[in-house]
Amino acid sequence: MFTGVNPIKRFCFHSVYTLLFLALSCSAVNQITRGQSLRDGDTLLSVDDKFELGFFSPGISTSRYLGIWYHDAAEADSLIWVANRDRPVPDRSGVLTVAGDGNLVISDGNGTRVWSSNATARVESNDTVALLAVTGNLILSQNDTVGDVDRAFWQSFANPTDTYLPNMRVLVDAAVGENHAFSSWRSADDPSPGNFTLGVDPRGAPQIVIWENGNRRWRSGQWNGLIFTGVPSMTTLTNFQYGFKLTREDDGRLYFTYNPANASALLRFRIGWDGIEEQLRWNESRRIWDVLQRQPEEGCEAYNRCGEFAVCDESGRPTCNCMEGFRPRNLSEWNSENFTGGCQRNTPLQCQSNSSSQTGGEEDGFRSIRCTKLPDFADVHEGVSPDSCRERCLDDCECKAYSMINGIGCMIWSGGLVDVQHFGTGGGNVLNLRLAGSELGKTLTAYDGRKLSIPVIVGIVVASVVGLAVIVWLFCRIKRKLQGTKQNETPMFDTSKSREFSSDLSGPAEIIEGSQMNPADLPLFNVNCVAIATNNFSIENKLGQGGFGPVYKGKLPGGEEIAVKRLSRISGQGVEEFKNEISLIAKLQHRNLVRLLGYCVQGDEKMLIYEYMPNKSLDFFLFDPRKQATLDWAKRFTIIEGIARGLLYLHRDSRLRIIHRDLKASNILLDEEMNPKISDFGMARIFGGNQNEANTNRVVGTYGYMAPEYAMEGLFSVKSDVYSFGVLVLEIVTGRRNTSFRSSDHVNLIGYAWELWSEGRALDLVDPSVRGSSPQEELLRCIQLGMLCVQDNPVQRPTMAAVMLTLESDSPSLPMPRQPTFTSSMRASIDRDLYSEDLV
């Protein structure tokens, strides 16, 4: 054949032929076709070498099973699927083939079938292919549709064993009912179906459930669109390990899918033979599987440990306590720590009573139980307001409780309240428990859930009154002494009067864990000296006008320039905001916060004295076409970083934990070097160390900067400031106000930004004055960060610590933002009664 051919050419031909043969061989190791077989000892590898299929023996067993495992990890610890789990091959004679009917078949040495895929759609043609995909899915299909899961005859992802992998779909269908999708092994050496199953209960709001022999053993809590409410730790892992979504596929049915942000990580969920569900991640450096989460742990995670109408609290003694207005159903069992009998009502509801004497004649009401894992078996009503949800419960005599949850809606419980847990370290939701009116007056509940009886409350009130009387008497004596020694000459400021003013600082923002703040270290300026410094508050010295009142420039006798905020008598803000600003900012020191030099209180005059900022506020430059060019991209990025540092200090690094609540461009002042300083703390609130969220019945703020949960429900947290920061970032990038789109096709800047982002035209957002001379990667990073900060769900927004990490990193890994939906316009200032109490 090669006679007369040059030896070099002959060598080259053989080499090419050999390489081609090897390439073809390698391309075939991830699949088998009709007529081919996979014998015990041979394996298939996915094309990325991540997954491997072959025969194995578990533990000490000598039986052989066909399974799929992670190729790079140890086989024994990385199995994700088993085919013939009910009927093993007794020896190493097993073989996998694509049979004449188109099905995958496992046969033993005698030719006996021990397992078949039993595909409902049979294909008689000779081009049937079984492919091990890069997802770990074994797919049986025709050759022209190989790997297409939507046109597959059969696939292992639709027939899972004990492991849930990324890209798997789990059906959520109320008509079908509970979906016990995954079943545990019987033991570590026996992969046949065990006692435990893992799946989805679609009723109401879907939740993940572990069953033991058909009975609930653990549940995740309801899905709110981002996390399972009974697993609050998901809020800290969402952007990294979790990627759950509930999606409606082309077939019209709902499925849970799981796609983590880091697609390269080896991640899986497994229901163990001991009934423990684990989330596992492969640690390449240590060559082990790290356990990220386990459910259920011992204690309150066990399903309904305390019975009906009781709350399980790991930090409590005893662990189980009846809900307010209830008592143990069997006291002797309860005292012996047998809580399974649960609790019963002390007083019947009004609608359940035949006489008003039983209920005291009072209408039923609600007591809020905070930081809870909500009870099981809720009915969900979408598109219902909080008030309507409450009324629905009151109108239904069977209703025991209700809750309003973002991402779910109105939840109502008509049966016994079971599997309720208190999350002492934060998280959870508010459960509104229905009680007889007479029960509501018997006890009050402290912030930590402890019940205070009326005698205790009376004792506290009496002690407080006596203590206040003593303080007033001492105050009057000190005041008289000060007046007796007062000199005719009036100094510029007098710190001795700070104590006198601090006695009037009684607003809620000054109280932290029982201790009162006062501005004793701040100088108290005399009103005459302030008038002289500002040229008698002349129009020439006026710098601007805010919600607090006018701001004037002044100069002290020593030459120091100051800014004076003068409380207007007709201001929408008032004395409470004035007190709040003094008591907060007097204790804060950071280069990105404006510095308070002192205050003035005399007669009707109330003023705050600040360091003077020569470059006014950010909006003065940002939204003026004539001044925008002054802010090149380097300055804008520095301003973004400075605002982020200031917020991080407020949220985490200061000794107080402060939510600003009114972050906007006009409240960002610029010093002589254009460094940003956050100002105006009149609306700010203090959070305790373990507090994550609060609500208010007075929603105040500025149109365009308020987070949706704050504007609509009065709920605020550090994530409310993050939302405002995101709006600011988008404004700084674009040079346009968020509210400048009201007359255009877009509701606001956020809606416009999302449209361009989703179309791949994000750079069109950038202010033309900086677009050509700015680094594109940095611009895109800031746009993506801004979009993440204005996500609808506060849990989905990053913390300011994560924001700073992103800004300071050259190549950060950011999750993709979702489309914001809450972009409808609101009034500039909203003040309405949404809740019955102001928590902070």
Q: Which residues are catalytic?
A: 662
What are residue 433's DSSP bridge partners? 367, 401
Token couple for 110: 């005698």
3-class secondary-structure state, position 53: strand
Please count the other Cβ atoms lying within 10 Å of the Cβ belonging to residue 125. Answer: 9
393 burial type by CB count under 10 A (0-12 exposed, 13-18 middle, 19+ buried): buried
What's the one-letter identity of residue 22?
Answer: L
Note the maximum CA span of the chain.
128
Cα separation, 521 vs 519, in Å, equals 5
- Residue 141 CA to residue 150 CA, distance in Å, equals 10
- Taking Cα atoms as reference points, which of 561, 557, 564, 570 lies closest to residue 527? 564
Do the beta carbons of residue 213 and residue 223 sit within 8 Å? no
Q: Are 783 and 733 contacting, i.e. CB atoms less than 8 angstroms apart?
A: yes
**Is 795 within 8 Å of 236 (Cβ atoms)?**
no
Relative orientation angle of helices 776-789 and 633-648, to the nearest 10 degrees: 40
Partners of 442 in the beta sheet?
Answer: none
Q: What is the CA radius of gyration of the chain?
A: 34
Please check whether residue 270 is in contact with residue 276, taking contact to mean a CB–CB distance below 8 angstroms: no
Cβ burial, residue 41 (10 Å; 0-12/13-18/19+): exposed
The strand ranges marked E within 79-157 are 79-82, 95-98, 104-107, 113-116, 128-132, 138-142, 154-155
Show Cβ contacts of residue 645 under 8 Å, excluding neighbours closer than 6 positions: 590, 591, 592, 804
DSSP 742: T
Integer Cα distance of 236 and 707 in angstroms: 20
The answer to whether 266 touches 285, Cβ cutoff 8 Å, is no
| Cis-peptide, bond into residue 794, ω within 30° of zero | no
Question: Cα torsion at 230, 235, 238, 243 (round to 10°)?
Answer: 30
Residues 564 and 608 sit within 8 Å (Cβ to Cβ): yes
Q: Transcribe 798-818 into DSSP letters.
A: PPHHHHHHHHH-SS---PPPP
Structure tokens at 565: 């905020």
Relative to beta strand 277-283, strand 288-295 is: antiparallel
What whole-number distance in Å separates Cα of residue 614 and Cα of residue 605?
A: 25
Give the strand pairing for 542-545 and 550-555: antiparallel
Q: Which helix (H) or strand (E) holds 604?
A: none
93, 94, 100, 101 alpha-carbon torsion, rounded to 10°: 150
CA 339 – CA 356 distance, rounded (Å) = 32
Cα 373 from Cα 309, distance rounded (Å): 13
**Residues contacting 831, CB < 8 A, separation 6+:** 698, 699, 700
Q: How many CB atoms lie within 10 A of CB 701?
A: 24
- Closest Cα partner for 445 from 370, 497, 531, 549? 370
